[in-house]
Structure 1
Amino acid sequence: MPRAVREQQMLDAAVRIFGQRGFRAASMDEIAELAGVSKPLVYLYLHSKDDLFTACIRREAAALVEAVRNGVEAAAGESADRQLWSGLRAFFTHTAERPDGWAVLHSQARTQGEPFAAEVAAMREEVLAYVTALIAEAAREAHGDPSLPAREVAGLAQALVGAAESLAGWANTDTSVSAREAAATLMNFAWAGLGSLMEGRRWAAHVPG
């Protein structure tokens, strides 16, 4: 079997074990057994448990970013809200279909310290930049110019991405929640508010004095 194919089998097994058991509890013996290879072969190809975990993070992060980009691009030429809707559906579909991969990214890598957390942070920054551009484009569509301040756009992107991450974690614990329902929930929560901003309506706290 070609090395690249064998490595993917090892990564498939590792993502499943890391996602279900956690980085600390997972063993190379378990991963090798699930992959159908010897433990020395896992070490030969992927060197160490840390290196294997890093490879899993990078593969799952790249797959998630690609899924979101493909979702948005599938709605190219449509309005910004339709592009966001398509991207969110792609995100929730991906995380539902690959729950172990999402657990590796969202639960495991972030809690294991450096350098694992840095790998996830890099992926998140890429997604944030993409979502920020979508929101900025929505502002241009609404007003014909980028009327929202850059800082506000960045804050909205942070809020939207954070909400999506939290909602995916919840949806993956309840099999009755479909990817479409999760995306609709976030659109109802976030886009209605964004739509108000695009129309110049803002909520303002009224503080005495």
Structure 2
Amino acid sequence: MDVVRAEDAGAAAGTGERRPKRMPRAVRERQMLDAAVRIFGRRGYRAASMDEIAELAGVSKPLVYLYLNSKESLFTACIRREAQALAEAVREGVDPALPADRRLWEGLRAFFTHTAEHPDGWAILHRHARTRGEPSAAEVAALREGITAFVTELIQAAAREAHGGPGPAEREVAGLAQALVGAAESLAAWANTDGSVAANEAAATLMNFAWAGLGNLMAGHRWSPAER
């Protein structure tokens, strides 16, 4: 990672040298968070070192504490930033003017593309944050709730398009959305671990699995256990 070392220092004062230009706080914080996401994502919370994060960011460790307070606060900030980025990527990847099946496809593709392009951030969200308890788990739960609500909207829209009416019961739609989001999370973890699975391939795999079932459901063809 290329970083710019621009610490506030008075070493140049009185030497005739030009004092380094102050870096904007937002830029410096982003620099620290970029480094923290990389270290936390690859090492996990416990093994991550604040010294290593500071070195990668090109700043002093006291400066990291000054800006982000503590290791726990830094970890929470990483979770919040990566969760927001993922949620925005999924929503922005969907064109509301498209048919329901295309919207679901574009949402899945945006999800798998983002998690593939940001593996450290996804590792924090999917693995490391869940082991830390509050407030880390709450941040991830909020992300999942938001994405699940979005998927619920897509399934409801598909039902309306198929029937011109409400379609399946609200509880059934909620269960389908939970199942789809859970499958997407597991598939993204597998795809990132495997390394050879492209985002489009992962999205197509889940789309083929999900849409065939959703299509039957929308058409009124329901599975039921065979009677003896």
| 2:14 aligned residue | none
| 1:92 aligned residue | 112
Q: 2: CA distance between counterparts of 1:147 and 1:123?
A: 27
Number of aligned pairs?
A: 206
Gaps of 5+ in 1: none
What TM-score results when the alignment is normalised by the length of structure 2?
A: 0.89
| 2:133 aligned residue | 113
| 2:59 aligned residue | 37
Gaps of 5+ in 2: 1-22
1:205 aligns with 2:215: no
Shift of the alpha carbon at 1:207? Answer: 5.0
1:77 aligns with 2:135: no
For residues 164-185 of structure 1, the C-alpha deviation after alignment (integer angstroms, 9 at most, x for no partner) is 0000000001221100000000
Q: 1: CA distance between counterparts of 2:27 and 2:153?
A: 36
Percent of counterpart pairs with the same letter? 77
- Specify the code of the residue in structure 1 equivalent to 2:137: A
| 2:88 aligned residue | 66
- Specify the code of the residue in structure 1 equivalent to 2:39: I
Shift of the alpha carbon at 1:206? Answer: 2.6
- Specify the code of the residue in structure 2 equivalent to 1:65: A
- Specify the code of the residue in structure 2 equivalent to 1:11: L
Write the mapping of 1:122-161 to structure 2, written as runs, cut at 5 A. Answer: 122-161=142-181
Instruction: Name whichever structure is richer in helix by fraction.
Output: 1
| 2:41 aligned residue | 19
Q: 1: CA distance between counterparts of 2:139 and 2:40?
A: 16
The structure that has the greater radius of gyration is 2
For residues 6-41 of structure 1, the C-alpha deviation after alignment (integer angstroms, 9 at most, x for no partner) is 000100000000000000100110100000000000
Q: 1: CA distance between counterparts of 2:224 and 2:140?
A: 34
For residues 76-104 of structure 1, the C-alpha deviation after alignment (integer angstroms, 9 at most, x for no partner) is 21111100101111100000000000000
- Specify the code of the residue in structure 2 equivalent to 1:58: R
- Specify the code of the residue in structure 2 equivalent to 1:77: A
- The RMSD of aligned alpha carbons is 0.8
Q: 1: CA distance between counterparts of 2:193 and 2:167?
A: 39
| 1:196 aligned residue | 216
Q: 2: CA distance between counterparts of 1:99 and 1:201?
A: 39
